[in-house]
Amino acid sequence: MGPPTSFTKRKSKKHNCAGAKSPNMAPIKKKTLSKEEIAKKSVLLAEYKEKERLKYLKKKEKEQRKCVKDMTPREHRKARKNWVAYSSDYRKKQKIRDNTDKYVDQNTPPSSEDEIIPEAPLLNNEREAEARRRSIVQRRKRNSMLKRKDLLIENLKKKLASEQQRNRRLKHRMIQKKQALTPESKMVEIANDPNQKAELIKKAIQDFYPLAIKYTWNFHEAGHGKGAPDGIGATCKRSADQLIAQRGDITNLYDFVAVLRERCPNINISVIEDADIEKVIKMIKEHEKEQKPFKGTLLRQMYGSYLKLIVNLRFKDTNGYPENN
């Protein structure tokens, strides 16, 4: 009795596999070599490097690979992130491989009794050393952070103390000034201040002199000597003073005019005779009633207060003629 057909068929299949290849079978894949195996063979290593170089050049032509100098700042940042991720993965895999090799070496028995196996450090000891190292690093970071915070707090305390001292000085100064001022002195200070307005001074008079029943105020714009004519006059005066300081001599008005015309050629100087002045004064007196002064050019600056008991009047003439003072 012969063998079963299934067995003979199975045997024939094995025979066919051992013999010629069937056209329906997939091609047998070549075994891929690792980088370590390639590195051991110089010919394969050279071929591998050439293949990688050509691959890199193709990617560079397609602008898939760039040098750092050709990257924009954004592309450089993105590439650095990728490099960090790749390096981290590589280190993790390398660490796993090293730990695996150590574990295999520690737990593999010797092939013979005469073989000497070097003692490898235990993984637990390495973990403890790594834990100690991390603890030291974290402690240093924490101490550095605490030092920076302490320094910042100390600087802020110094600034706060300085501001407090400044506020105390200002407060003390204001108290002294408030104590030194009296109603009369404050009134005089407000009246003499050229930056104060007439309305403010009127209100101050009402506050400091409540018994006053009537006020009159003629206000003239404060300040003088700031216009163009005043500057020209000062220049002429300095020029004459320089001549006197240099041992020069000015005997009369005409000498003075000649000196100014020589030293100040950009200033037009004219001499007004006494007869012309008298003629203008006479004309002003004849038409005095018809003339109206410009606003803000009053002859006098005065303020007065009429009290129920005492009448006070303060008066100052601002006219330039000596006979009217």
Residue of 180, 179, 215, 178 lying closest to 198 (CA atoms): 215
- Tens-place pLDDT, residues 204-241: 666 666 655 555 554 444 455 556 677 788 888 888 88
Cα–Cα distance, 190 to 198 (Å, whole number): 10
pLDDT at 306: 45
Average pLDDT, the chain: 74
- Tens-place pLDDT, residues 33-43: 777 777 777 77
pLDDT at 83: 93
**Winning range, highest mean pLDDT, from 7-21, 95-109, 130-144, 182-196:** 130-144
Question: Count of CB atoms within 10 A of residue 11's CB?
Answer: 11
pLDDT at 266: 84
pLDDT at 320: 44
pLDDT at 322 over 80: no
Asked whether residue 216 is domain-assigned, the answer is yes
pLDDT at 139: 93
32-46, 122-136, 237-251, 292-306: least confidently modelled range: 292-306
Q: How many independent structural domains does the chain possess?
A: 1
pLDDT at 3 over 50: no
Instruction: Please tell me which residue, 315 or 32, carries the higher pLDDT value.
Output: 32
pLDDT at 321 over 60: no
pLDDT at 10: 44
Asked whether residue 275 is domain-assigned, the answer is yes
Tell me the pLDDT band of 161, cut-offs 50, 70 and 90. Answer: very high
pLDDT at 43: 78
Asked whether residue 301 is domain-assigned, the answer is yes
pLDDT at 92: 93
Look at phi and psi of residue 247 and say left if phi exceeds 0, alpha if psi is from -120 to 50, else beta. left
pLDDT at 16 over 60: no
Tell me the pLDDT band of 86, cut-offs 50, 70 and 90. Answer: very high
pLDDT at 149: 95
Tell me the pLDDT band of 74, cut-offs 50, 70 and 90. Answer: very high
Tell me the pLDDT band of 325, cut-offs 50, 70 and 90. Answer: very low
Asked whether residue 265 is domain-assigned, the answer is yes
Q: What residue numbers bound the domain in which 241 lies?
A: 197-324
pLDDT at 174: 81
Q: How far is CA 134 from the centre of its chain?
A: 38
Question: Count of CB atoms within 10 A of residue 151's CB?
Answer: 10
